[in-house]
Amino acid sequence: MNPRTRRSLRFRLTTVYASLLAVALLLYAGCVSVFFLHSLREQLDLSLDRDVEAVESMLTSSPTGQIKPDSEEGEAHEGKFRQGFLLEAWSSVGSLLYRSEALEGQPLGSAPVVAAGLSPEPPRSFRLPSGLRVRALSRVHHLSNGDPVLVRLAVSEESLWQEFWEMSTALGIMLPLILFGVVITGYLVAAKALKPVDSMAKRAAEITAEQLHERLKIDNPDDELGQLGVAFNTTLARLENSFDQLRRFTADASHELRTPLTAIWSVGEVSLHKPGDQKYYRDIIGSMLEETSRLTKLVDSLLTMSRADAGRVQPHLTETRLFDLATESANLLEVLAEEKQQTLRVEGDETVTAMADRTILRQALINLIDNAVKYSPARGEIRVRVTNNEGFPYIEVQDSGPGIPPEHRERIFERFYRVDKARTRAEGGSGLGLSIAQWAVSINKGSIEVQCEPGPGSVFRIRLPKASAATSATIH
């Protein structure tokens, strides 16, 4: 991974994390402040409530109708009136009966609306014209003579606000510190968590095509990064396998191509230095053409394999009569069988059908019958049998050749694998016939296996998928 991208991933993780945390802390601080202010005001309202009661108990009206603090209690509270209690009393006709000196003439609100009688106002906070922040509460009080008065009592909110600001300042200092601490820790944790990616990336960058056997070191295969490493190692193993196959294939293919080319070259070279008659040259040309035909077959097989490997072949599945296909393939090889005076017979159930790509499946059958002819002795017998077993269509190619020894049966479908190298090359085999047959069957969703009963001869059996009754389209 590019270090810049990696840095930015770590940076992005931390930024997202920090932003979310900052929002959460801000919300938290906001909520705490609102609740704190609310609870401070509640306490203030409670104490105001008590104070209003105290104030009510000491209000009496003077003969002039004015109101003043009275009684001993009143005298005792006079000091308080001056310092903290800010009091106003309004008559039921809307005239001011009393205002504390401490208010210095500033009103605690406008004159009450008296049309519907005096009624208490809800507690409220506001600033006096002097700038003092106060909390005011009001009550309708009945004087000893029964007259109702509206009593407004206010106290300064300055100490409340001071407490509030102290708490806000503490939050304002603590939260950025917490945020900073958490972000730094988060950044370090992200750096530590991404460290294995760093070492994996470095190691991966060191692995070249020549070192595909190397693997990433995985500390903890169970965590997410470990799983990524395991997946990468698995891919490397597959890649190594593919590279090995490719190397082997190229080496084998070069070797196979070289053999007929060397033969053509030596025959040509010898004939150049050796004078001869027309028959001699005809034989030489004939032998060269034989090698060229072998070369062409080999190149065709290589092309088929390479197209198969590239996955470019798309089978065109149609419902196919297997007996007809087997007869058609056998007819193509009839001449070769006749040359060896062999009997080549197609038998079995003529009605069996399968969903298959005719052309590709025919290639498999031709390769199997070709082998059967090649490896069966002169006057031998070859049977191609079409059957249906439990709904599955089968095609078997049975020969009277030498059979395949058990230790080779697993490997004969590998590319360029031959049981007896010298003999099969002499027979003109390239070692690709069965690989192509296996590919052709598997692309038709079938399977192929070899069976060798005790005694001479072998049976290659192709099993195909059931032809669906619904797809009774064109039958070929």
Residues that bind ligand ADP in the complex, under the rule CB under 6 A: 367, 371-372, 375, 399, 401-402, 404, 412, 417-420, 424, 429-435, 458
Q: Which is nearer to ligand ADP, 198 or 347 (CB)?
A: 347
Report the distance separating Cα 152 and Cα 100, nearest Å.
11
Distance of closest approach, residue 469 Cβ to ligand ADP, in angstroms: 35
Q: Which is nearer to ligand ADP, 109 or 402 (CB)?
A: 402
Q: Which is nearer to ligand ADP, 362 or 418 (CB)?
A: 418
Report the distance separating Cα 363 and Cα 417, nearest Å.
19
Going 120 to 125 to 127 to 128, the CA torsion angle's sign is positive
Strand, coil or helix: 148:
strand
Report the distance separating Cα 384 and Cα 356, nearest Å.
18
Report the distance separating Cα 450 and Cα 403, nearest Å.
10
Q: Which is nearer to ligand ADP, 13 or 419 (CB)?
A: 419
Distance of closest approach, residue 309 Cβ to ligand ADP, in angstroms: 16
Q: Which is nearer to ligand ADP, 121 or 427 (CB)?
A: 427
Q: Which is nearer to ligand ADP, 138 or 424 (CB)?
A: 424
Choose among 50, 72, 70: nearest CA to 144: 70
∠ at Cα 32 (26, 35), nearest 5°?
140
Distance of closest approach, residue 227 Cβ to ligand ADP, in angstroms: 40
Distance of closest approach, residue 409 Cβ to ligand ADP, in angstroms: 9
Q: Which is nearer to ligand ADP, 97 or 330 (CB)?
A: 330
Half-sphere exposure of residue 367, counting CA atoms within 13 Å on the CB side?
Answer: 29
Q: Which is nearer to ligand ADP, 52 or 450 (CB)?
A: 450
Distance of closest approach, residue 272 Cβ to ligand ADP, in angstroms: 31
Q: Which is nearer to ligand ADP, 109 or 456 (CB)?
A: 456
Distance of closest approach, residue 448 Cβ to ligand ADP, in angstroms: 12
For 53-66, the DSSP string reads HHHHHTEEE-TTS-
Strand, coil or helix: 246:
helix
- Other CB atoms within 10 Å distance of the CB of residue 473: 10
Distance of closest approach, residue 269 Cβ to ligand ADP, in angstroms: 27
Report the distance separating Cα 373 and Cα 378, nearest Å.
9
Distance of closest approach, residue 453 Cβ to ligand ADP, in angstroms: 13
Strand, coil or helix: 146:
coil
Report the distance separating Cα 447 and Cα 462, nearest Å.
6
Q: To which H or E segment does residue 168 belong?
A: helix 158-206
Distance of closest approach, residue 327 Cβ to ligand ADP, in angstroms: 20
> For ligand ADP, which residue has the nearest CB?
429
Strands 353-356 and 392-398: unpaired
CB 26 within 8 A of CB 178: no
Q: Tokens 């031998």 sit at which residue?
A: 380
